[in-house]
Structure 1
Amino acid sequence: MNTDFDISTPRLLLRPYKIVDLNELIDAVRSSVSELSPWLSWCTPDYDQHDAYEWINASRNNWRNNISYEVGIFDHYSGQLAGSVSLNNVSIALNSAELGYWIRSSFHRQGFATEACQAISEFAFSTLGLTRLEIVTHTGNLASQRTALAINAKFECTARNRIFAAGKPCDGLVFSLIPQDLRPARPTPFFPTA
């Protein structure tokens, strides 16, 4: 799929990463280590230009080859990178994918993850024609679980050894979203932060 693509929501611009996003990505990751590193092993204080460059190139290549669809979440008002949302582990045989997301610490608790997940889910169902999305969270990641429920995903199970983190398997909570679960988009109130 062409990487000259974007999705616009009332507050956000979702688009594939570009090399010009490199420093912003590094800053977003490093400034969010304390909140994200328990759930994302790659989110470390040592995340550097090499890591960001490799990620951006891999994500653009995956997008072009229809392997996975990673997009940056950009705030319409400031232009700042607010996080990332992706469709990965795309299965043609099962017509499904996994939905993953992370939000920069300075954008937490503003509904950005919900807004971005809603938008990428609509893209998955309407443009890609997928019929099922799965969200798998660590059992202790309450923020991610709240986001799954906010987009009307249904809790299905606690899957044993579903996540491999820090060199060991751990249980994961599995949520699913199908096209019928999508709620109509509704305006999200804008509360500027000082």
Structure 2
Amino acid sequence: MKADYQLTSERLLLRPYKNADLLDLLDAIHRSQQSLSPWLPWCHAQYNQHDAHEWIHASQQNWVYDISYEFAIFERATDIFLGSTSLSNVSELTNSAELGYWIRSSAQRKGYATEACQAIAQFAFDTLGLTRIEIVSHPGNLASQRTALATKAHFECTARNRIITRDGPVDGLLFSLIPSDIAPSTPPSLGLP
């Protein structure tokens, strides 16, 4: 898969991370630590430029080898970095992946996560040909659960010991998306007058 791939939605541009995104990523993490750290163990006060560089480099390699697909999220009108969404744990055996997302604190509660998830789900089904996406949410992360439901994901179960936290494994709420759950993409033009 080409690492210069881009997705657009009404308000957003999603693309693979570039080295130039390092300072925007670091700033968003530091400014959002209070809202993100309860759910994302890597988001902590000591997260530094080296960590961000290593993560961007790993993300770029993931794209090269089709291991996972991380997208930086930008507001189209302003080019402001808003957060990240990804397809990880891509499985050929089950033709599925796990969808993750986070939005910087200053841009939360505006529907950006839902819009980004809809765009990446369409990419997963139309471009990658996946037939299932899973979203796993911490039971206390109500914002993540609202986003999953707004994306039209279906709640399936509480999966025991599904999430690894700083304090050990905890249960996770499992949501799923299949192609029929989301609106179909624009049908291809037949070239007729």
Q: Are the equivalent residues in 2 in contact too, given 1:152–1:183 (CA < 8 A)?
A: no
One-letter identity of the residue aligned with 1:138 = H
Q: Are the equivalent residues in 2 in contact too, given 1:161–1:171 (CA < 8 A)?
A: yes
- Runs of 5+ unmatched residues, structure 2: 186-193
What is aligned with 2:160? 160
What is aligned with 2:147? 147
Q: TM-score, normalised by structure 2?
A: 0.94
Comparing 75-84 and 85-94, the one that deviates more: 75-84
What is aligned with 2:189? none
What is aligned with 2:37? 37
What is aligned with 1:188? none
What is aligned with 1:28? 28
Q: Partners of 1:9 and 1:108 in 2: how far apart?
A: 17
Q: Are the equivalent residues in 2 in contact too, given 1:11–1:77 (CA < 8 A)?
A: yes
One-letter identity of the residue aligned with 1:173 = L
Shift of residue 184 of structure 1? 5.6
One-letter identity of the residue aligned with 1:161 = N
Q: TM-score, normalised by structure 1?
A: 0.94
Shift of residue 85 of structure 1? 0.3
SS at match of 2:43: coil
1:49 aligns with 2:49: yes
- Runs of 5+ unmatched residues, structure 1: 186-194
- RMSD after superposition: 0.9
One-letter identity of the residue aligned with 1:32 = S
What is aligned with 2:191? none
One-letter identity of the residue aligned with 1:181 = D
Could you tell me the percent identity over the aligned residues?
62
Mapping 1:1-194, distance limit 5 Å: 1-183=1-183
Provide runs of 4+ in structure 1 moved above 2 Å: none
SS at match of 1:31: helix
Q: Partners of 1:169 and 1:45 in 2: how far apart?
A: 22
Higher Cα Rg, which structure: 2
One-letter identity of the residue aligned with 1:113 = A
Matched residue count: 185
